[in-house]
Structure 1
Amino acid sequence: MRTKECPSCAMDVDAKSKICPICQYEFSEIKVGYRWIAMALIIVLLLYLLF
């Protein structure tokens, strides 16, 4: 079973959990599309600064 650490209480919870069962912390889900857009913007910014 894959787990992830809760940033609020540091307990290991199931990786698919949306809410920590211990402290009720709500995990935010970053959509894959936003991640690719952010990486593309960072690459463009770095290329702009280098040239």
Structure 2
Amino acid sequence: MNTKECPSCAMEVDADSKTCPICQYEFAETKTSYKWIAIILAVIMLLYLVVF
């Protein structure tokens, strides 16, 4: 079972939980598309720095 730590109360909760069952902290949803966009932009910046 995958777990994650609640930043509010430090309780280990199920990784798929959207809220902490203890303190009701709402976990932010991260979209994978934003991660890929950030990676692509970082690669483009590195290539730009190497070429110029």
TM-score by length of 2: 0.80
The structure whose Rg is larger is 2
Q: CA RMSD in A?
A: 1.2
Listed as ranges, the gaps of 5+ residues in structure 1 are: none
TM-score, normalised to structure 1's length?
A: 0.81
Aligned-residue identity in percent: 67
Q: Which residue of 2 aligns with 1:34?
A: 34
Unaligned runs of 5+ in 2: none
Per the TM alignment, residue 31 of structure 1 is displaced from its structure 2 partner at its CA by 1.1
